[in-house]
Every structure is written in structure tokens, then in C-alpha cells.
């Protein structure tokens, strides 16, 4: 299984997909903007040390729009007239991805048949992350 990461850059205050991880030098490489897939646009590479970013690991789940759900994402869910919002985190006691809120289910895998939509993350534009 391929493990994918995003990072929150503490300096630029942005979340970006990781292009490369250099474990030997404790550095990561990511694009400075979201135009990395567009061949006609130039995108600057950014190098950061591990201490300068917060890693966000993929859960392997996909939302209704086909976006991959990562640790730290805030998701809206709905099923059979019930709805709610949760934050995705990894439960160190249960060793499972969990929906961190007052929802009925704690195991994120229980939401795979629900309508899920990523509506943000806990880092960008949020008062939840304070340095």
C-alpha cells in the first residue's frame, strides 16, 4: 500500500501535497501553489525541514467529489436525514482513523457508505492551529 502525505507549511500557512520526502536529510519537497499538475504553468518547488511542517497522512478514503481524505481534514457527513461534521484524526489507542466529534460512530471506516464532503482542514484559515 502506497502511503500518501500532505503537509501544512508553518511558514507559508498552506497545505500542499508532498512531491518528495528525503529521510536522510529530514526534508520534504512540495509545490508552492496548486498548479503542479498544469503543464503550462510554472510552479516553484519549496524545500522544508521536518520541523517546519506538519505531516497529514491519507486515510485511503475518498469524499463524494473524489478528493482523498487526509488527517486534519474537516468533513461533512449525511445519511438518512442525519448529518454532522467531524475532524479526521488517528486514534492512537484504537490504532484506527477516527471521526473526532460527537458523532455516533468513532471509526472513520463506518462512514464509507455515507455522503462525505471535505469542507476544510484544521490548519488553513483556522483558529484551531496556533503556533
List the domain range (segments joined by +) for residue 108: 59-121
pLDDT band (50, 70, 90) for residue 113: confident
Q: Is 23 inside a domain boundary? A: yes
User: CATH number for the domain including 75?
Assistant: 2.30.30
Q: How many CB atoms lie within 10 A of CB 60?
A: 16
Phi-psi region of 57 (alpha: psi -120 to 50; beta: other; left: phi over 0): beta
pLDDT at 103 over 80: no
Q: Is 9 inside a domain boundary? A: yes
User: 71 and 47, same structural domain?
Assistant: no
C-alpha to C-alpha distances, 127 to 69, 122, 123, nearest whole angstrom: 21, 8, 8
Identify the bridge partners of residue 16 per DSSP, sorted by sequence position: 7
pLDDT at 35 over 80: no
What is the pTM (predicted TM-score) of this model?
A: 0.81
pLDDT band (50, 70, 90) for residue 7: very high
- Read off φ and ψ for residue 109, nearest 5 degrees: -60, -25
Amino acid at each position: 500500500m502506497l502511503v500518501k502525505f500532505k503537509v501544512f507549511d508553518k511558514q507559508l500557512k498552506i497545505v500542499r501535497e508532498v512531491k518528495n520526502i528525503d529521510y536522510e536529510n529530514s526534508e520534504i519537497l512540495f509545490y508552492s501553489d496548486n498548479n503542479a499538475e498544469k503543464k503550462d504553468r510554472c510552479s516553484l518547488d519549496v524545500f522544508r525541514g521536518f520541523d517546519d511542517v506538519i505531516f497529514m497522512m491519507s486515510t485511503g478514503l475518498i469524499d463524494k467529489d473524489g478528493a482523498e481524505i487526509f488527517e486534519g481534514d474537516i468533513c461533512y457527513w449525511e445519511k438518512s436525514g442525519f448529518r454532522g461534521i467531524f475532524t479526521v484524526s488517528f486514534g492512537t489507542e484504537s490504532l484506527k482513523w477516527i471521526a473526532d466529534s460527537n458523532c455516533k460512530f468513532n471509526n472513520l471506516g463506518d462512514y464509507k457508505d455515507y455522503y462525505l464532503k471535505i469542507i476544510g482542514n484544521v490548519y488553513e484559515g483556522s483558529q484551531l492551529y496556533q503556533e
